[in-house]
Amino acid sequence: LEPGPKAVMITLNGYACQRRTPLQHHNTVLTEALLVLAENAEFCEDEGRNIAFKRAVSVLKALPQAVRKMGDLQGLPCLGEHSQRVIKEILEDGKSREVETTLQSEQYQAMKSLTGIFGVGVKTADRWFREGLQQPSDVARSGQRLNHAQQAGLQYYNDLNTPVTKAEADVISRIVEGVVQEVLPGAEITLTGGFRRGKQTGHDVDFLISHPEEGREEGLLPKVVSLLETQGLLLYQKTTRNSYLETKEGPARPPSNMDRFERCFSIFKLERPRHSTSPEEPPQAACEESPRGEDSALEQLAGERQDWKAVRVDLVVTPVSQFAFALLGWTGSQLFERELRRWAGQEKNMSLSSHALFDNKRKQYLRASSEEEIFAHLGLEYIPPCERNA
Ligand code: DGT
Ligand code: MG
């Protein structure tokens, strides 16, 4: 009897921060479907279900090959009954009824459009939806009271929903670098977020700003922002002050998602390179097809196609003693971060934030000047940024 092809059982660790998750993977049909359900759970404020689907997705992303049959999933962590049901249906029928229904539902579509407005979260979007608003143009017409962020979000809706390219991120890097050097020579900027993980596009551009001498970074951000404003480079900005404090007892509150760095949420006004003369990758290709091009009211809202593009930029200032933690915390992915904190708490009795790592048993902070040291403190194998795409 000929031996059949040997079944190779893949084993994966239970926490995403113990796994290598590349940007490109073999199961996009499955992950895209499950992400719709994750997103829908988020819209319904069902966090448990949202995370469960995202964990399932991250396991599929880490697989070295495409899933072809349910047996391929044997022994894998984080694949709950619901996710398995969806996967089974897609493997058998090519699609999932639940996913199709979700994609077509009025609520899902409205929530997706409305939460796509910068400054609008699930709670606001849900209230608007229940008031009968379904898209940004409805909001504009309805005379809702909007805060400054939301006004900017509406005004630049099309641009802010067009992916930012790596080429655009590089142009912004040079602008930020120049301004930061002018304000404080010797200060350093680092591109973080998805671009540091190797993504070619993103929804925003994230930077850390620091100075090799502790304390020199204080007071830097308002000056940087004001210089950017003077140069007409900002369409919107909101700066929050640093509110981080260390105590002997450890982090004052359980580490939350929001960190306490001095930080500027902004919208840059980025010149579009001219077609013929620019050596840059022209962003036009990405902009031609607006994701909501059918909405003419919005086209008017955004005005004529300008020779600039609105781009979301986050500037975060960190003292050099916290730099490694900030770098790890801002590189993402979001799920990778969440899993790191869960690992620290559940497996190591430690509290990890973008500022520090605290050992709850020994009641002491564990210092680190590189990401490698933080992984070592946590007893984890080092995972480079390009493999943190969980
Ligand atoms: P993108 O921009 O769509 O390509 O995706 P990312 O991965 O760059 O995600 P983004 O820009 O939302 O955030 C970058 C990482 O920074 C993400 O993994 C989570 C983290 N992050 C975002 N906002 C905060 C925050 O307020 N506090 C902390 N500690 N981390 C944050
Ligand atoms: Mg980002």
pLDDT at 246: 80
CATH number, span 16-102: 1.10.150.110
pLDDT: which is higher, 8 or 24 = 24
pLDDT: which is higher, 278 or 53 = 53
Torsion of CA 132, 135, 136, 142, to 10 degrees: -20
Of 159, 204, 259, 295, the active-site residue reads 204
Of 126, 206, 259, 295, the active-site residue reads 206
Which pLDDT tens digit goes with each residue over 328-353? 999 999 999 999 999 999 999 999 99
Identify the nearest ligand to the CA of 334 by its number: 1
CA distances from 145 to 122, 140, 141, 142, 151 (A): 17, 10, 11, 9, 9
Q: Is 203 in the pocket of ligand 1 (CB under 6 A)?
A: yes
Q: Is 339 in the pocket of ligand 1 (CB under 6 A)?
A: no
Q: Does the annotation mark 93 as catalytic? A: no
Arithmetic mean of pLDDT, 1-24: 83
Read off the pLDDT band of 273 (50, 70, 90). confident
Q: Is 354 in the pocket of ligand 1 (CB under 6 A)?
A: yes
Distance CA 27, CA 67 (A): 7
Task: Report the atom number in ligand 1 closest to the C-alpha of 204.
Answer: 2
Q: Is 153 in the pocket of ligand 1 (CB under 6 A)?
A: no
Average pLDDT, the chain: 91
CA angle, 198 as apex, 309 and 381 as ends, to 5°? 145
pLDDT at 301: 60
CA distances from 24 to 64, 152, 381, 389 (A): 10, 33, 21, 9
pLDDT at 257: 59
Task: Report the atom number in ligand 1 closest to the C-alpha of 199.
Answer: 4
Domain 106-149 sits in CATH 1.10.150.20 = yes
Pairing of strands 205-210, 308-317: parallel
Domain 156-244+251-390 has what CATH class?
alpha beta
Query: Do 106-149 and 16-102 fall under one CATH topology?
Result: yes
pLDDT of 365 strictly over 80: yes
Q: From atom 7 of ligand 1, which residue's Cα is the shortest distance away? A: 194
Q: Does the annotation mark 159 as catalytic? A: no
Which pLDDT tens digit goes with each residue over 210-263? 999 999 999 999 999 999 999 999 999 999 988 888 887 787 665 555 678 889
Identify the nearest ligand to the CA of 385 by its number: 1
pLDDT of 170 strictly over 60: yes
pLDDT of 313 strictly over 70: yes
Which pLDDT tens digit goes with each residue over 193-223? 999 999 999 999 999 999 999 999 999 999 9
In sequence order, the 6+-apart residues with CB closer than 8 A to the CB of 71 are 7
Distance CA 94, CA 18 (A): 31
| Residue ranges of domains in the chain | 16-102, 106-149, 156-244+251-390
